[in-house]
Structure 1
Amino acid sequence: MDSELVIGDWSILRRDRDTLCGGVLLAARTPLALRRRREYETDSGEDLWASFTWQDSIVPPDAYHLPLEAEVSYESARCSNIMDPSNINPARDWNFNKCNHEQLYSLLSETSWDSVLLATNVPEAISAFYQIIYDIFNNCMPKKHRSKSVTKRYSVWFTPEITKDIKRKVTLHGIWKRSKHHDDYKNFSDLRNSLKHRVATAYQIYTKRVENKIRINPREFWRQISRLRSKGGFEPSVSYCGDSYTGAAAAEVFAKFLPACF
C-alpha cells in the first residue's frame, strides 16, 4: 500500500507488475516534484518514466547566474533519423580489401608530385599531397556499401549465447502475457534472472580484457573504438538561438553557452 511507503515529505511513483510481486518504484523528496510520463513507458511493465521540477532554486538567479534550461526530446527508434557513422566520410569510404594493387603501384610511380613540391606553404603542400592520394584511391578501389536499415544493436560485451537468450526472453515474455499461466511466467522469470547475472559477469570480463589490452596492445583498443563508432546510431540534437546542432558542433555551442551562466 502507498501508505506503507510514504514517509514525511517523500513522494512515491510506482508501477506494479501484473503478478503478485515485483515492480518499479521511484521516490523523490521535496523540493523535487515528480510527474509520471506514461507516454514513454513500454508494454513490458519493467520501466517507469517521470519528469521532475525543482520547486526552489539552488542559487537565486541573477544577471551573472542565469538558469540553465535543458530540453530533451524523446523519439522511438522507428521515427528517428539514422545517423551516419561519425568517423566516416562517405566520399573517402574506400574498400581497401578490393583494391587493385597493381594499378595502385603503377599510379603512384607515374604520378607527378609537382603540385606538392611547388607549394608555397605547408598547408598548401599537405592539401595537394592528399588530393593526389585520394584521386589515386578513387581510381584503384570502390567505395563501401553500408546498409541504411535499422538493426538491433547489443552491447559489445554480450556473448552470442546472451544475445540469443535475450531474444528468447522476449518470446517467453510474450507467451506469458498471452497465457497468464504461472509456469510461463516462471520460465520467463528464470531466464531473466539468469541473464542479469550473466550480463554482469560478461561486463566484468570485458572491462578487464580492455584494461589489459590498453597496457599490452593500445592499438587494438583504438581499433575497437573505431569499430564501435563506424556502426553509427542515433545522435541527439541541441537547439540554441533557434538553430539545431549535432555532434561536435553541439559540444561547441554548449561550451559557448555555459560561460554565460557564471
Structure 2
Amino acid sequence: MVNTYSLAMAKRNINYLQFFYQNVRGLRTKTNIFYENILSSESDILMFTETWLHDGISDSELCNDVYDLFIRRDRGSLGGGVMIACASRLQARARTEWDRPDLECIWITVPARVLGVSRNLHVATVYLPPDRALPVRIELLSQIITEVIDQNPNDYLLISGDFNLPGVEWTSGHPVLLKRGAVEIQNSASHLINTTRCCGLNQYNFLTNSHNHTLDLIFANFSNTTMRSSCPLVPEDTFHPAIVVQAVDILIPPLKLKSFQKHFFGRGNYERINSELLEYDWGLVCDSGSGLDRVIEMFYSVINSVIDKYVPKSTVGGAYSYPVWYSRALINVIKEKSKAHRLWKKYSNPHDYATFALLRDRQKKMQKECHKSFINRSQENIKNSPKQFWAYVKARKKNKNSYPKYMTYDTNLLTSETEICNCF
C-alpha cells in the first residue's frame, strides 16, 4: 500500500480548511497540465465548472489517489460539466439525492467526525449557462438550497459556481441589481439573493473579471477569506479568475500517515513452513469437539503462526510518496518550497515570500520537464522495455478502484470497515 497524500498538502503549516475554485473552460486538451498541477495543490477541496468532460476521459487521467473525484458529465458536446476533487482523507461522499437532471450541480458531504467537530460540511458546485432557461435553473437551485438547509440546519454549507449574473453588482454589503438584461433574469437573480439571505448564506467573492463583472460566486454560512489564486491549475480564463477560499474557523486534524506491517512472501522459508505444517497434529484441531467457527479459528491461528514465524515482515507506509516520474532534484525543490512557505506564514517576511514564489515557479517548470522526459523515455524504450510503458498507460487510463469508504444498508450509513463487512 502506497501513501498518496500530496506533500504540499501534508506539509502545509496551516490547519484550516482550504478551498479552490476555477472555471477551467474545458479540460479535454488540458489533462496533462491539470494532472501535474493538482499534485502540488495545497487545497483540501477543489471545485471546477465547465470541465467539458465525457466518459472517454477516466478519473485517473486527471488525478491520482490524493483526491476523490466527483464528476457530472452531462453533455456529450462541448460546454458544461462540474467536478469536485476532495482530499481522500476527508472521506467525502456524494449526495446524489440532491442532484437534478436539469441542473448541472454536484453535492458532496464531509462527515463531522473527520473534521473533528459536531457539524457536517456540505459542498456544492453549480454551472448555470447564460441561456433562456437560466431563470428556471435558478429557481430549481433555490429550491434545493432550501431543502438542504431545512434538512441540515446546523451544518456548514458552501456553494460555488458560475452563475452568469452580470446584472448584479456584488459588494461586501448588499448586492445591487443593475436593472440590466431580461426582466425574467433580473427577477430570478432577486429571488436567489432573497433565498440565500433567508438560508443564512453570504456571498464572499467580490473579484471582477476583465469586463468588471463577477460571474463566479461563493455562498457560505461560515466566515472565510476569499482571494484570487496565484496558482490556477490550468491557464486562467479572462472572464473567470481562479479563487482560493480559506475557512479559518473550520480547523482540520493534522494529517497522520498510517504505517503497517507487511509480509514479504518472496523471502519466506517455505521448506520450514511445509515441514512444520506436515508435523503438526491436525487431529487436535479436528477432534477438539468445538463448533465449526471455533475449528476454523484454530486452523487459521496455526497457519498465521507459521507465516509469522518463517515469512519476514517490514513496516511500509508512513512516508510521503511521489509520482514515479519525479526526479530527486524536483523532490528537493518541493521540500525547499514548503520550508519557505512555512517561514513566510510564520514571520510574514517579504524575502521569504520571494523565495517561496521563486521555488514555486521552479517546481512548476521542473515538474513539466520531468513528466515530458518520462514520457519520451518510455516511448524510446518501448522496444526494449515495453512493460514500463504499458504500466504507465494502464495506470493513467484505468478508473480508480478501491474499497468504498462508506456504504448504505436500508437507511443506515456505514463508515467503518467492520460495519461494512458485517452487513454481508
Query: Is TM more than 0.5 here?
Result: no
Please state which structure has a larger fraction of its residues in strand: 2
Higher Rg: 1
Give the TM-score of the pair, scaled to structure 1: 0.43
Please state which structure has a larger fraction of its residues in helix: 1
